[in-house]
Structure 1
């Protein structure tokens, strides 16, 4: 595994960014779902930076970024962006980019073999799951062999939780069922895989209290703050980030739908203790990702 970015040289670590387009122009989602996401976040459908462009964006800001795609081939039929391509591209910008992978849990043993290869040969540092798009409950036994491998490899598993802008406004929500993204289903995963490092992505609307309960109860469950401007954070999330969860909350933007500039500008106006701010922006992520 490569050493990755040097935390001492960074102002922040963004643990949640998306590779939306491959080098040959293939999108990570269908045009219909991309369009729904763009409308939801009030962005432009042409916003799809390449990985080298993402590296430039974060390097200029002296930040590091975790980069991943979503493999949802089983549920959507849409071919994914190659995990190997993302890992190789991040390796070319190892001073600022950190590769995660995404494997559809429906791929069974093939997915387990891929996970091991990606960590051992490509330096992947974690795995992204999006239960709503991938069409599975996080506590479904079909995913357990994959979790077992990820736990053994010693890297984190990041789960989308709460509502998603992907499919919003499309008839039937683009086939995406929100029920899969209740963080309480990840609580079962934390019980059954006691050493697995878990990240609950996003303020988990409408299950924010459930996410806080899981993160305070299970020692290796973290929360990232991506996908929402901090000015919209629920008050209980801010309260817990300032206190009980100050060592387990992570900066994430959801770039490119939310830029780190916008997120950080709003975060600066949030009532966060001075001693907690650097933990959220960098220190917690550096420790979790093995960069510290």
Structure 2
């Protein structure tokens, strides 16, 4: 399989989920999956090779990850190694992220280092509500320190989650842990760490915008919501102060990029900002090339 040709891509989706392993093992328990399916509507659970074919057909690339929440849920994760190895079989369109439960302590730190150095993982997904921890809890700091040192990215779920929605007690999931203001402490204590705040952060959208505006290495991805439901202040900041820090993400497979992009086309985004959100900001953040040079080549052609 040829390497990724970033210049030929129309978009980079920075937020997709591997929901099922090659052996059929699901990333969540049946109870939590059922609640998520009801919240987002039923959807297919493609294996990683199917995801590669889907994005290749659309001339897009995708960041792929699962969520390791074994401590809080008791449900075994999908292997990070499987995700990374499967993505490595499709380097033209897939970019592997890992997920390490911060409750795993030193063992988790060792795993994170190995995933980056031996498997080419470029970042790590955290879901504070599902994993049952506050992002600014010092017990997670050795893991952040390793991620920062390795030059990888920390992507945090923020805002409400469909996982556990409608289940008594929300399936034990506490929404308070996904307040983006808790990540502000992480950005202060690890000033070189590249961070993505995932999703429009309902009910803390203004907090997410404040953190991303104030901290130079904090970005926002737009996954999990159809663009037609974006709060107006998110659209305003994406067009102006955060035009270089907002990223296209779909949350595939619960939301398809086809649906997301169709609604994004109707959003009042400046023409010069659209390619930044859809591709160029991710190119820079993921270290895939120089988007400014790419734009110059496109203009010259």
What is aligned with 2:189?
192
Match of 1:274 among 267, 271, 274: 271
SS of the aligned residue for 1:231 comes to: helix
1:177 aligns with 2:174: yes
1:73-222 → structure 2 map (5 Å cutoff) = 73-222=70-219
Question: What is the RMSD computed on CA atoms of the aligned residues?
Answer: 0.8
Does the aligned pair in 2 maintain the 1:4–1:291 contact within 8 Å?
Answer: no
Aligned counterparts of 1:28 and 1:43: Cα–Cα separation in 2? 16
What is aligned with 2:42?
43
What is aligned with 2:8?
9
SS of the aligned residue for 2:149 comes to: helix
What is aligned with 1:27?
26
Aligned counterparts of 1:262 and 1:51: Cα–Cα separation in 2? 20
Per-residue deviation at 1:6? 2.2
Cα deviations by residue, 1:129-167 (Å, 9 ceiling, x for unpaired): 000000000000010000000000001100000000000
1:72 aligns with 2:69: yes
Per-residue deviation at 1:4? 5.8
SS of the aligned residue for 1:101 comes to: coil
Aligned counterparts of 2:252 and 2:271: Cα–Cα separation in 1? 25
Aligned counterparts of 1:70 and 1:205: Cα–Cα separation in 2? 21
Aligned counterparts of 2:69 and 2:111: Cα–Cα separation in 1? 15
Specify every segment of 5 or more residues in structure 2 that has no aligned partner in the other structure, as ranges. 290-301
Give the total of aligned pairs.
Answer: 288
Per-residue deviation at 1:256? 0.1
Per-residue deviation at 1:232? 0.1
Aligned counterparts of 1:54 and 1:114: Cα–Cα separation in 2? 25
SS of the aligned residue for 1:74 comes to: helix
SS of the aligned residue for 1:264 comes to: helix
Task: Name the TM-score, length of structure 1 as normaliser.
Answer: 0.98
What is aligned with 1:63?
60
1:226 aligns with 2:223: yes
SS of the aligned residue for 2:63 comes to: strand
Cα deviations by residue, 1:249-279 (Å, 9 ceiling, x for unpaired): 0000000000000000000000000000000
SS of the aligned residue for 1:27 comes to: coil
Task: Name the TM-score, length of structure 2 as normaliser.
Answer: 0.95
Cα deviations by residue, 1:62-83 (Å, 9 ceiling, x for unpaired): 0000000000000000000000
Aligned counterparts of 1:217 and 1:43: Cα–Cα separation in 2? 38
Aligned counterparts of 1:228 and 1:131: Cα–Cα separation in 2? 19
SS of the aligned residue for 1:49 comes to: coil
Aligned counterparts of 2:42 and 2:161: Cα–Cα separation in 1? 15
Cα deviations by residue, 1:34-78 (Å, 9 ceiling, x for unpaired): 11111101224xx21000000000000000000000000000000
Per-residue deviation at 1:9? 1.4
Specify every segment of 5 or more residues in structure 1 that has no aligned partner in the other structure, as ranges. none
Per-residue deviation at 1:7? 1.3
